[in-house]
Amino acid sequence: MPIAIMSMKFIACLLAAVLLAAPVRAQQAQFPIKADDGRPVANHALSREQVLSAERLAGAVVVANPKGDVTLIEFYDLNCPFCRRAAADLEAMIKADQRLRLVLVPYPVLGIASVLAGRVELAIARTLPPETFYRFHREIYAGRGVIDGQRAIAT
C-alpha cells in the first residue's frame, strides 16, 4: 500500500477518534444517575433560558452560592420520601463543591397536606433570608411522617 494512502487512513482514524471522543468525555463528565432498578438514566443539561425560567417560578429559592458556576435545580414535595432521602445528598454536594448553586422549587403534588406545608414554606421564603429558609427546609426533612401546614408551623 502506498505511503500516501496509509497516511490518509491514519489521519482519518485520528480525526475520527478526536471527533468521537468529545461526546464520550462530555457524557463521562456528568454525574451518573441510575433508576430504582439500576439502569442508567440520561443526564441532560438545561439551557440557560430553561434554568432562568425555573428560577422565576413561585417559591424558587437559591440556597447555596448565588454566584455558583454550576446550578442544580430540585423540584420537591415536602412529603416525598425520595426528596427527603435526597436532602442529605444535596447537603453533601453543597459541602463538597462550594461552587454549586442550589435552587429549590416547591412542587407539592402529593396531596393537600403537601400544599399546606408548601404554603408555610413559601411564606418563610418570602419573608426571611435564604439561609433561614434552607435551615427550615432541612428541619422539615429531618422529621418523620406527613408534613402538613400545622406541623410545618410547629417546626
pLDDT: which is higher, 42 or 74: 74
pLDDT of 24 over the 50 cut = no
Question: Which CATH number is 45-154 given?
Answer: 3.40.30.10
Q: In angstroms, rounded to a whole number, what is the distance separating the alpha carbons of residues 8 and 14?
A: 10
The pLDDT value given to residue 9? 60
Helix pair angle (130-142, 112-127), 10° resolution: 150
Question: Which cell numbers hold the place of 20?
Answer: 468521537
- Residue entry with cell 425555573: 54
pLDDT: which is higher, 21 or 151: 151
Q: In angstroms, rounded to a whole number, what is the distance separating the alpha carbons of residues 23 and 19?
A: 8
Question: Which cell numbers hold the place of 147?
Answer: 408534613
Question: Which cell numbers hold the place of 105?
Answer: 422549587
Can you give the residue ranges of every domain in the chain?
3-40, 45-154
Average pLDDT score over residue span 121-140: 90
The pLDDT value given to residue 29? 47
Please give the model's pTM, rounded to 2 decimal places: 0.65
